[in-house]
């Protein structure tokens, strides 16, 4: 069940999107996040939906795979939607005690839902189409100018790539520990919230112990492979900003402008 989490995982394919410069993809993703919050009406989201499907086709990622990544966030999305639905003041449509549904509430919660949806979907394009190591070398390269003021760019990148590498391993491990504790009679999904939280302890402790042991072994393995920090390090895949990146930048700019223009069509919020 935990294996279903696909956020932060690479989907191997040979598409144009995969080949783009990670630095460009990171910057565009950041712009995209900001842009999502600038959308003022449902036309914007409609365009976004169309563009997302197009991007899926171009990057050869199955739409189902993209949607699967949303599953773990379902609870968060429902809570956000409900909070917005019941907590927004405005024209009351329905009321029961302190609970009320307003017209504004419905619109706002739909907006929030769509925002989270597109936020996760859009940003996961970055991790689906970029190998973690390219991604981190992109971050490293973007942070490089800041290393003069003491930002440890190489170390940050290395930590991130190791974290990404170990997500599936630790998930597998968690599954195993859960199965082992269940076999010993642990009741993981029974009782009230506090009891359930307590029953996590026999899962978390072995997981942490094993993570520390892994870290120790990994450090030795890295040293054995001549790791000595970021100095004098070269890269097999050097980042190159090419013609296709410029084209992608233009396409993105056009879509962004289009999206912002749609805001002019009857602002509904």
In the three-class reduction of DSSP (H, G, I as helix; E, B as strand; rest coil), residue 33 is classed as helix
- Exactly one of 74, 75, 149, 236 binds another protein (CB under 8 A); that residue is 236
Is residue 41 classed as helix, strand or coil in its secondary structure?
coil
Instruction: Rank residues 36 and 158 by Cβ distance to another protein and give the closer one.
Output: 158
Q: Are 21 and 246 in contact (CB under 8 A)?
A: no
Name residues contacting another protein, limited to 46-85 (CB under 8 A).
none
CB 45 within 8 A of CB 114: yes
> CB of 56 within 8 A of CB of 65?
no
Minimum Å gap between C-beta 153 and another protein is 16
Which of 212, 235, 246, 269: binder of another protein (CB under 8 A)?
Answer: 235
Smallest Cα–Cα separation from 257: which of 16, 14, 31?
A: 31
| Residue (129 or 161) nearer to another protein, CB | 161
How open is the CA angle 267-80-7, to the nearest 5 degrees?
100
**Chosen residue from 35, 39, 56, 164 binding another protein by CB under 8 A:** 164
Binding another protein (rule: CB under 8 A), the pick from 161, 203, 252, 262 is 161
- Minimum CB separation of residue 133 from another protein in Å reads 4
Q: Which two tokens stand for residue 248?
A: 């992608």
Residues 194-233, one symbol each (x = binds another protein by CB under 8 A, - = not), give --------------------x--xx-xxxxxxxxx---xx
SS3 176: helix
Binding site for another protein (CB under 8 A): 10, 12, 131-133, 161-162, 164-165, 168-169, 172, 214, 217-218, 220-228, 232-238
């Amino acid at each position: 069940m935990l294996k279903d989490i696909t956020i932060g995982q690479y989907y191997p394919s040979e598409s144009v999107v995969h080949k783009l410069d990670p630095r460009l993809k990171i910057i565009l993703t950041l712009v995209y996040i900001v842009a999502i919050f600038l959308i003022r009406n449902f036309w914007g989201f409609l365009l976004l939906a169309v563009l997302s499907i197009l991007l899926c086709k171009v990057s050869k990622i199955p739409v189902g795979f993209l949607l699967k990544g949303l599953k773990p966030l379902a609870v968060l999305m429902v809570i956000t939607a409900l909070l917005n639905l019941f907590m927004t003041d405005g024209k009351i449509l329905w009321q029961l005690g302190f609970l009320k549904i307003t017209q504004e509430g419905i619109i706002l919660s739909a907006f929030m839902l769509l925002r989270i949806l597109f936020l996760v979907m859009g940003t996961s394009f970055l991790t689906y189409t970029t190998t973690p190591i390219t991604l981190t070398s992109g971050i490293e390269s973007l942070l490089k100018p800041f290393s003069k003021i003491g930002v440890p760019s190489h170390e940050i990148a290395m930590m991130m790539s190791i974290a990404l590498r170990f997500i599936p391993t630790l998930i597998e491990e968690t599954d195993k520990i859960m199965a082992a504790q269940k076999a010993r009679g642990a009741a993981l999904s029974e009782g009230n919230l506090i009891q359930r939280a307590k029953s996590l302890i026999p899962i978390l402790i072995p997981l942490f112990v094993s993570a520390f042991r892994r870290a120790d072994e990994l450090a030795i393995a890295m040293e054995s492979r001549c790791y000595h920090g970021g100095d004098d390090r070269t890269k097999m895949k050097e980042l190159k900003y090419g013609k296709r990146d410029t084209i992608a930048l233009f396409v993105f700019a056009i879509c962004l402008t289009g999206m912002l223009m749609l805001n002019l069509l009857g602002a509904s919020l």
